[in-house]
Structures are given as C-alpha cells and as structure tokens.
Amino acid sequence: MNKIRTFFYMIKQGFQNIAKNAFMIFASVSVIFVSLFIIGTMFLLSYNIESILDDLASGPAVVINCKTTLSEEETDKLQNMIEIKDNVSKITRISRAENLAAMKEFFSEQQDLFEDYKEEDLFVSFEVELYDVGEGEKFVSEVKSMVGVDSVRDTVRVLKLFTTLKKWVQIGTVIAVIGLGILSYLLTSNTIKLTVVARRQELEIMKYVGASSAYVRGPFIMEGLFIGLLGSGLSYLLVRLVYNIIANYVNGTEIGDMIHVVPFTNFSGTLMVYFLIAAVAIGVLGSMTAIRKHIKV
C-alpha cells in the first residue's frame, strides 16, 4: 500500500512541477518534438531510398536495343561481345517477338497502333546485370560504340545517385541524432533543474527526516518522463500524418510508377519503439543529471 501511495505521490508532485514551470516545459517539449520530427523524417527518407535501390537493383542495370536491320548471325556476334565483358554478371536475350508482345501489352488500349507491325519491324534486346554498378558508366560507354547497337537504356547513374544520397542521409541522421539529442537532453535537464533549485530547501528537509532517495527523485523523474513522452508522441503523430499525405499523393501520380513510397505501416512499430526509447532516455537521464548536480539525494 505504501509503495502505491508513494507512486501516486510522485505522479502528483511531477504534475505540480510541470504546472509551475509551464513555459520551460513547453520549450523542452518543443525541442524534443522538432528534434525527433527531423530525425524521424531522415529515417523514413533513408528507408525509402533503400527500398528504391532494392527495386532498381532487382532489375537489369542496362538494356541494349539492337538495330532492326541486324541479322541473327550479327546479333549472336554482338551478344558474345557483350558477354565476355568482365563486369557482366548475366545477360538475357529478348527476341523481336517478345518485344512486340511487350509493346502490345504496354499499349493494350491502343492495339490499332501495331496492326501493321511484324516481328521483323522490331529489334532484339539484351538485358544486362552487372557485378559492379559503380563501373557501369564505363560499360555503357563501351557498349554504345559497338557495331549494331541502336540505343542503350541504363539505371547506372540513377543507382549511383541514390547510393550517394543514401550515404549522406545516413551521415546527416547520425549528426542529427547526436546534435539534437544532446540539445534535447540539456534543455530537459535545465528545465528540471529550475524545479530542483526552487525546492532545494524542501528536499533537503525531506532527506533529513528520513525520506528515501527514490521518494525524493521520483517526482523529477516523472516530470522528465512526461516531457520526453509528450514531445515524442506529438512528433510521431505529425511524422505519420505528413508521411501519409506525401505517400498517398506520390503513389497516386505517375511518379509512383517509377518511385513507390513505402506504406507507413511497414515501419510504424519500429519508429514508435525508437521514439519511446528516445523519450525515456532524454527524460529520465535529463532529470537524473539535474538532481545529481544540484542536490545530493
């Protein structure tokens, strides 16, 4: 019974501390809110870049279209020249008939466009997967100069762009976690410090009459926990709202056919756990630091 009474006392005193320092509480919650919103946004951006890279990497890095005038013998010779390249992992040949069927399927609502087309009017294609996409531009340049090649489509530069972007986003996320985490921790600590200083004499008396350390620390830990949970909870809700708006818009346009935004439900649980850990770490550590520095309890 005493433990239950003590627990409710801690909660009551914690909320009283919050009421007395409303402005500083607001400032602390705001900093945590903004910090976690930025970190959460960068986490989601990194997650989506990873998803885009996986989608791009799952398909051929390079698609080579041969000239329509190329004979079967010349096509075989060109395929052999491509296959012996060191960077070629796999090459898949797409026949004239397969290309024609694919075009008819793609333009299924405009079949009349291909009424007069025959297999010989189309071209043979090669889908090429590479061992090292980083050396892809060199490979594309070499292939373009080969006899019989009409055009080359590749995702090499796009892959390199997203790989570089992912790297910088990850670096930015680490910097944001460290910098904004420290800022949130310091402001939360200073907020609770004001309450500790204001009640220092009262707390010392409590210690002299036999109050336990947990009994004295409890209200301030509750205060720090409230600051952390409120800031992280608001940030999570806003991140979810903004992300869903952007995802629904992008996936509902033509851009969504090329770059699909991952549904928020795919990582909502993970993000919530991260935010809760951040809330507890910032709130509890900030309050413990403030208490330890300003009163030996």
Q: What digits encode the pLDDT tens for the residues 40-97?
A: 888 888 888 888 777 776 667 788 888 888 888 888 898 899 888 888 888 888 888 8
pLDDT at 195: 65
Distance of alpha carbon 41 from alpha carbon 236, whole angstroms: 10
> Cβ neighbours of residue 180 under 8 Å, at least 6 residues apart?
31, 34, 35, 36, 38, 39
Distance of alpha carbon 260 from alpha carbon 54, whole angstroms: 11
Q: What digits encode the pLDDT tens for the residues 148-166?
A: 888 888 777 777 787 888 8
CATH architecture of the domain covering 60-154: 2-Layer Sandwich (3.30)
pLDDT at 1: 46
Using 70 as the pLDDT threshold, list the residues of the chain that sit under it.
1-24, 57-59, 106, 108-117, 194-218, 254-258, 290, 292-297
CA distances from 100 to 66, 107, 291 (A): 14, 11, 75
pLDDT at 267: 83
pLDDT at 22: 62
Domains of the chain, by residue range, sit at 2-56+160-294, 60-154
